[in-house]
Amino acid sequence: MIKILPTEKFTNINEECDALRMKIFSIVSHDLRTPLACIIGSLGTLDQMSANLSPEQRDILIKTALAEAQKLSVIIAQMLDKAKP
């Protein structure tokens, strides 16, 4: 026997799902943007100021961009794994 939910209950469930979806989207968005901002910042600094940076400073920026790219890769792989049925 199929039980039919009252319209109010369906609306509440829909609203709860929307709120959860937005919360997850907000977390995922933050987790993706943080390493991406570091990568862009490091590479942008290298691009704009490379001639004025010491080899050590350039090395730090390159290593920072690489570490953040690797972190981003792990986050994306974890998200894709979770999305699998």
pLDDT tens per residue, range 12-24: 888 888 888 888 8
- Please give the pLDDT value at position 55: 96
- Please give the pLDDT value at position 6: 67
* DSSP state string for 27-74: HHHHHHHHHHHHHHHHHHHHHHHGGGS-HHHHHHHHHHHHHHHHHHHH
For the whole prediction, is pTM greater than 0.75?
A: no
pLDDT band at 52 (very low <50, low <70, confident <90, very high): very high
Residue 5 has pLDDT above 80, yes or no: no
Q: What is the mean pLDDT of residues 58-77?
A: 96
